[in-house]
Amino acid sequence: MKVLIYMSGGFDTYGPSRHLYNALIEDLLLGGHTVHLIESHSSGTDPDAPENLLAFEKFSYETVTTQVVEKKAFVKRYLTGVRYCFDSIPVLKRQHGFDVMMVQSCPWAPFAVSFAKRYVKIPTIWNIQDMFPGASIANGVMRQKWMQRFFYRFHKIAYKKADHISVISEDMKRKVMAQGVAAEKITVIPDWYDDQSVREIPWEENRFVQKYDMQRDIFYVQYAGTMGFNFDYRMVVKVAKLLQGEKNIVFQMIGFGSQKADFEAAVKEEKLDNVVFLPLEPQEMVPHVYSACSVCLIPLPYGVIGNSVPSKAGLLMACRRVIVTSADPDSEYNEMFGREQIGVACGCDDPKAVADAIVALRDNPELREAYAENAYRYGTSHYSRAMNTALYEKLYRDMAKESC
């Protein structure tokens, strides 16, 4: 099978889906398939093609040069994405002999999906990682009602043009169906962790523990990742304030993002000495970082679930770590934690419930261990790389067969 992948970004620039596409392409190549990648070249921070992919004869790629735009500059970023689609047309026109094509999630999907269908003319799957404009509305970036209405209508072009749509959660599937898409046109394939490299790292071998001289008698409540609009730093501040008297509880905040400066300012204003900020670690340190925490806190603003999904959940399960989260109370995401007994899910506006959950898990190591074991088993069956890249391969085969 010959697969064409049209990315909205490129491997040369950090993106939350970059490791997923690397793993997906590698597993397709290991399965004997041919993969050609069309991607952008913008920052040049990293190579356009990872070394592990270049090792395969059946892998090839082409780049289209774009400019780097800050995520906060919405209008400029959107227009740059649209221009990338137009600049990709000559590259798309050159593609022949492929069986199926996948278009990566992006706000300018009406252009990307339409051009893919028009110029390549093969079954096209649109992979949605973040709903647009829903995610931008939920995190407060897009507040203008006229703009919300326009983009909801305009985005329906992509829903109509795509032959099939892959989403990363049942909550997201419901959101897509609410846009008028038939259930049979949607496949749920969760984002995954790399079960070839992610595992629990024992305390004695943990490089992150050693780097920051972490102490066994401290209960570390950790968040590691992007501190952007999908991260509710206000919840962390409220919970840390409630637990300020608990001297052995430390909130370890690791990463960067558009909200980090405001987060740090809020912590300083509240004079919270139980919140520590640390820089983001390299990708290979992820299992060390997650294995170092006592519990992980994933605070989400209301409305984010369904429009987006925190990809770190599966990674934490692989490292046998318990999650405390705050999200939409009526979501499948929140229900999962109680149903599977893998963590504690609270509402978006209930910092006391979050604080109580953290204390309960600290004071009951047997409960924490039981949740951790359940999380590991559930993660293996639902979020592992081997499981979910195989689901994409099956989807590609099914789409290719339907077109014959």
**Which residue type is seen at 99?**
D
User: Quick check: 402 pLDDT over 90?
Assistant: no
User: Quick check: 393 pLDDT over 90?
Assistant: yes
Q: Which domains does the chain have, with CATH numbers?
A: 2-192+384-403 (3.40.50.2000), 203-382 (3.40.50.2000)
Mean pLDDT taken over the chain? 94
Higher pLDDT, 144 or 311: 144
User: Quick check: 140 pLDDT over 90?
Assistant: no
Model pLDDT, residue 404: 61
What is d(CA 357, CA 365) in angstroms, rounded to the nearest whole number?
Answer: 13
Residues 344-372 have pLDDT tens digits of 999 999 999 999 999 999 999 999 999 99
User: Quick check: 243 pLDDT over 70?
Assistant: yes
What is d(CA 160, CA 181) in angstroms, rounded to the nearest whole number?
Answer: 8
What is d(CA 114, CA 122) in angstroms, rounded to the nearest whole number?
Answer: 12
Model pLDDT, residue 308: 86
Average pLDDT of 304-327? 91
User: Quick check: 14 pLDDT over 90?
Assistant: no
User: Quick check: 52 pLDDT over 90?
Assistant: yes
Average pLDDT of 371-395? 95
Q: State pTM to two decimals.
A: 0.86
Model pLDDT, residue 62: 98
Token pair 């099956």 in the structure block, residue: 394
Model pLDDT, residue 35: 98
Q: Find the DSSP H helices in 253-403.
A: 260-269, 286-292, 312-318, 332-340, 351-363, 365-382, 385-403
Model pLDDT, residue 238: 98
Residues 76-135 have pLDDT tens digits of 999 999 999 999 999 999 999 999 999 999 999 999 999 999 999 999 999 999 999 998
Residue 167, both tokens = 């989403």
Model pLDDT, residue 347: 95
**Which residue type is seen at 182?**
A
Picking from 332, 275, 268, the residue whose alpha carbon sits closest to that of residue 305 is: 332
Residues whose CB falls within 8 Å of the CB of residue 54, separated by 6 or more in sequence, listed in order: none
Angle of helix 74-87 versus helix 109-120 axis, rounded to 10: 0
Residues 247-292 have pLDDT tens digits of 899 999 999 988 999 999 999 999 999 999 999 998 889 999 999 9
**CB burial readout 60-83, b (16+ within 10 A) else e:** ebbbbebeebeeeeeeebbebbbe
Task: Categorize the per-residue pLDDT at 311 as very low, low, confident or very high, splitting at 50, 70 and 90.
Answer: confident
Contact present, 216 and 250 (Cβ < 8 Å): no
Which backbone phi and psi does 84 adopt, to 5 degrees?
A: -60, -40
